[in-house]
Amino acid sequence: MMKKWFVIVLPILAVFLVGVYFSYERIFAIASGTDSQATGTLTTYNDQTDSYPVFVFQKSHSDTEGTMVETPTGTVPGAFIFQGVSENGGWANVAAVLSEIRDGGSGDNLAGKVTMYAMYGDGTAFQYVYDTDGSFKIDASGVAGIDPALILEGEDSNTSVTWMEDEAYLLYEDDVVYEMLDDDAADAASITLRTADTGPAGIHQDDYLGSLLFQGYGQSAYQTGAEIRAVAMEDFTDANFGTQLDFYVADTIGSSLNKFMSLGFIYGSTSNRRLAFSDGRIEFDQSMNSANMFWFRSRAHLFSIDGDKNVGDLVTIKSEDENSSFTDSNDEMSWLAIYGDIEMSATGAYNGILIQMDEDSVGDGSTGSCGDNTFICAGTVTDPDKFFVDHDGGITTTTGTVTTKIGSAWDFGAYNAGAPTADGYLVVVVDGTTYHIACDAQ
């Protein structure tokens, strides 16, 4: 009898010696004194890998002990709460870990989420939520003036992601690398920027799909030096979602962000690509000693220029400085050289240069470099009208000689069909004197 009493009393005595006691609905473990520490330990001895100490929280939705009633969504079946003493002398929450039952359970299974709370100090708390859908969320909506951040610390560099109401910031001390390891050639690491109207609903023409901003720090804040925007070209549907890319760069005068160019398709076309430059001159800067600045291979029209101007030149080839000037050379050099390879038959025709002007209305041409409206006007800077072909087809040379020959003989077809007539002659004006050169039927 004494032995049984000893077995029962000794554990009870041991429990009270370490300050553990039970009260209705509560278990207390108390330790006090210098270097004291209340500790709870669950110990298991076995040789199985799937048997381990377990601390279980259970909750039935019933006020009657032993009655099993399904626990509804929103119920918190258990929590760990961490408290300290506040400046007012009472226990106050520091942090907590709560579980919560969520929709999605069926049969013998329940769905749930886990929420960790970290108190901010004014009674509000950050929430770190692991939800049923596999997402992880940092919720600081209840904390005024604070934006949540995720910080990853490493030995050599740190990364932080900060979320604000309209923006998120990724701060990294070195390069940011996205890597995908996959044997499928169709898969690749990617960054997706998505935009939708509230709903979500389809976006509209001229809405932004997303943008990439490139910023550098100035004297007191980050400044945007360049931006790439994706812009909707039409109202989006599941079948129609035309888009163009707009490129913006900051100028060096007022340092304002200006559109530089756009890439996309001509509206309503699936084949006509468009590269559109904004107002201002576009310069391609390259040394004359390098390779060709442009090299095109085309099986259709290489260029199509459509312009509407009321002053100046539509297309200009001009030397503005010594880097784009001809220099001493023993080789022939041309400002515009056309070398055509013609292989045609039947009724095919070609032109080295084709000039057809649509003269809806013309002035008298008196302000022109050649003093007339011309198809071709050639000369020097000091003598611009050395040679020209006017819009009536007349050929004029002011300082030189017009020479047309095949072999060693002049050859002009008769003005009219058949035998030469008095009208079959060539008019040449030299130093103000007009010469009529008769044409031989040969």
387-420 pLDDT, tens per residue?
888 888 888 887 666 555 444 344 443 333 334 4
pTM for the predicted model, two decimal places: 0.49
Residue closest to 248 by CA, chosen among 232, 230, 263, 226: 226
In a domain, 305, yes or no: yes
Average pLDDT over every residue of 14-22:
47
| DSSP-derived 3-state class of residue 113 | strand
In a domain, 292, yes or no: yes
Euclidean distance between CA atoms 392 and 370, whole angstroms? 14
Cβ-based neighbour number of residue 148 at 10 Å: 18
Number of domains in the chain: 1
Residue closest to 426 by CA, chosen among 435, 418, 417: 435
In a domain, 328, yes or no: no
Of 119 and 175, more confident:
119
In a domain, 273, yes or no: yes
Binned at pLDDT 50, 70 and 90, residue 204 comes out as very high
- What residue numbers bound the domain in which 217 lies? 194-318
In a domain, 403, yes or no: no
Of 329 and 56, more confident:
56
Q: What would the two tokens of residue 302 be?
A: 């290489």
In a domain, 300, yes or no: yes
In a domain, 356, yes or no: no
In a domain, 334, yes or no: no
Contact 172/149 with Cβ under 8 angstroms? Answer: no
Average pLDDT over every residue of 321-333:
69
Is the pLDDT score of 40 beyond 50?
A: yes
Contact 250/226 with Cβ under 8 angstroms? Answer: yes
336-345: long-range pairs with CB below 8 Å, 24+: none
